[in-house]
Structure 1
Amino acid sequence: MMLQKEELEQKHLHLVQIVESEKTAKWQYTQQCEELTMEIKKLRSELNTLKRNWRLTPNLSLSEDDDNTEDLRKIKKVQSFFRGWLCRRRWKQIVNEYINSPHAENMRKRNSLVFRMVEAEEEYVEQLQLLVSGFLRPLKMAASSQKPPCTHDEVNSIFLNSETIMFLHQIFIKGLTARMESWPTLVLGDLFDMLLPMLVIYQEYVRNHHFSLQVLAECKQKEKFAQLLRRLEEKPALQGRTLETFLTYPMHQVS
């Protein structure tokens, strides 16, 4: 009996311990549940706060984006201005360096020579055209009239090959003007090659120039020729220059 009693007491004690441990576990679980409940409430509160803030966030973000966009626009404008200033400054330095370079000096001399040559050639062709249209052709027409003031041989002796010289220089100035369109890559060597045959033509003109003036002086002794020549020389386009003056222009070109 004593053994049974002790065994029962031990079982009772064991059960009491189990109950106590269960109570302790229950209390711990209850505490954890309360803590979790408080945490859930806290999270819900934070979530509600975030939701309220989220409703205001789009407007705030738009405002911030506008501010950021305006700031970026200003920054880009300053950067663009600064880059442009640097480019202009660098370009100015490059231009100044080139202007002061030996190559630029040679190009300026070359340009000056070419432009002077073009101007001189245009002026010379204009003078030859006035000689031919203002004197040669009217006198040829007069020589073909019923009562000519001079003969065709006299006209040819006075003007020699001046019309041929005019045609050659018209071709030359036309080619020269066409080449000027491709400036500054200008090639003139082949154009000057066509001037070489002119030397023979100019030699003939120079050789017979004195004879030309003699024939003109003889023709001016004729009253009819002298009157016609005065009318021709009075044309405004000739600017008071005489036929002798125009006949000497090819001589100046050779010299």
Structure 2
Amino acid sequence: MLNCIIIDDEQFSVDSILKYIELLPKLNVIAIYNNPLHALENVSNDDKIDLIFMDIDMPFLSGIDLAKALRSKTQKLIFTTSHSKYAFDAYEVEGDAYLLKPFTFGKFSTTIARLFPIEPKTKITEASSDDDYFMVKNKEEDLRIVKVCYKEVIAFESFHNYVKIHLASNKILTAYLTIKDILELLGSRNEFKQFHRAFIISTDCINYIEGNTIRMDNNLSFTVGESYRDNFTSYLSNKLLKTARKR
């Protein structure tokens, strides 16, 4: 687990970072500062900080000046800013990365992966991995943070400003996310496919296919979208068992 601190005077920027952090279980937020002076006063070497996310353009004290005081108290420092003009200054104070707002979850996650690469496992007993699950705030449980194993997911469904996560237990989680966020989360996981603009499904949980209609194990069904027909046909041609017998 990596302990991290967020220093940003704009709450919507803090919320954006928190939203991404929730999708990376190895990150643990131990403090948030909207005032850089409070961060200067309170961040201590005793906090065992692995990572600081720091805005640059802040009142009273800039992120560049604050970094001069705090850089030695953290293993890694990521600047998050709306201005590209500070890139050289960030380098001068030994910033490890520079995320230009608004940045995507893909950019965020690859930056974390670069700064904190996963060490290869040496023991067979270490079978579980952070990659086996993700965590979301469930709207239906007063934003309780819920751990979700990928193998439990039947489908992700876009629903207004949320995404419904259909689980094998028939439970449905509702998270303040977009389908784009889900695609970035899933990355190269081959078991998940998108055959409709509103659905990303686990192909392991397909019950049957009838024409262009896909029905899942939980009886969720949808028709393959027009713009996804080629991907669907390619998937089906690779998976459909055919006889080699001559007609």
TM-score using structure 1 length: 0.20
Higher share in helix: 1
Answer 1 or 2: higher relative contact order, Cα 8 Å, separation at least 6.
Answer: 1
Larger radius of gyration: 1
TM-score using structure 2 length: 0.20
